[in-house]
């Protein structure tokens, strides 16, 4: 068995109309499918490029957001979220499009995290203030109206065997099924 990539990622929003406006207008993602659920909810799909979809569920009586548990509370100060949660969604983008994406976000009134462009490298901090040969991805982080952390990410080089250099961590206690 081999997958071909991500078909769709399904998230939950607090207001479908606000979510549709943000993703279609601020991010330019076409709304391609809408579904009315039998329980009064909705399930909408956006084309996020590369043959992948980003979907949202909405229920009029859905539970409230839980920052720091089900999502990032504050990036970059408090980037953790709970096991089984969704930390953030990164959209692939060419590096030469990053600056234009920032301008488009800011023109739409979207707050972009500081530093605006993050240079990810293999240093102990994992980021560099300046561009250098060791930077493997450059990112721009921002939030949607639901508080969901989003990222535009530009991979700068192919992955190499030495990019897998760490042993996986272990939980202090086994998971309970």
Widest CA span in the chain: 53
Say which residues have a Cβ less than 8 Å from residue 52's Cβ, sequence separation at least 6. Answer: 5, 6, 7, 8, 9
pLDDT at 86 over 90: no
Looking at residue 175, what is its pLDDT?
A: 67
Proportion of the chain above pLDDT 90, given as a percent: 69
More confident residue, 133 or 72: 133
For residue range 138-152, what is the model confidence (pLDDT) as tens digits? 999 999 999 999 999
User: Mean pLDDT across the stretch 51-55?
Assistant: 96
Do domains 1-59 and 75-160 share one topology? The answer is: yes
Looking at domain 1-59, its CATH superfamily turns out to be 2,3-Dihydroxybiphenyl 1,2-Dioxygenase, domain 1 (3.10.180.10)
Mention the CATH class of domain 75-160.
alpha beta
Q: How many CB atoms lie within 10 A of CB 148?
A: 23
């Amino acid at each position: 068995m081999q997958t071909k990539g991500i078909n769709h990622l399904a998230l939950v929003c607090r207001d479908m109309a606000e979510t549709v406006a943000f993703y279609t207008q601020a991010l330019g993602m076409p709304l391609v499918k809408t579904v009315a659920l039998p329980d009064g909810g909705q399930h909408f799909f956006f084309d996020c490029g590369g043959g992948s979809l980003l979907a949202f569920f909405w229920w009029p009586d859905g539970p409230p957001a839980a920052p720091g548990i089900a999502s990032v509370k504050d990036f970059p100060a408090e980037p953790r979220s709970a096991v089984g949660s969704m930390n953030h969604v990164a959209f692939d983008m060419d590096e030469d499009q990053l600056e234009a994406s920032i301008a488009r976000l800011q023109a739409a009134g979207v707050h972009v995290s500081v530093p605006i462009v993050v240079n990810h490298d293999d240093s102990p901090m994992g980021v560099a203030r300046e561009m250098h040969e060791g930077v493997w991805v450059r990112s721009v982080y921002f939030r949607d109206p639901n508080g969901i952390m989003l990222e535009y990410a530009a991979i700068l080089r192919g992955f190499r065997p030495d990019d897998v250099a760490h042993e996986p961590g272990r939980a202090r206690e086994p998971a309970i099924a």
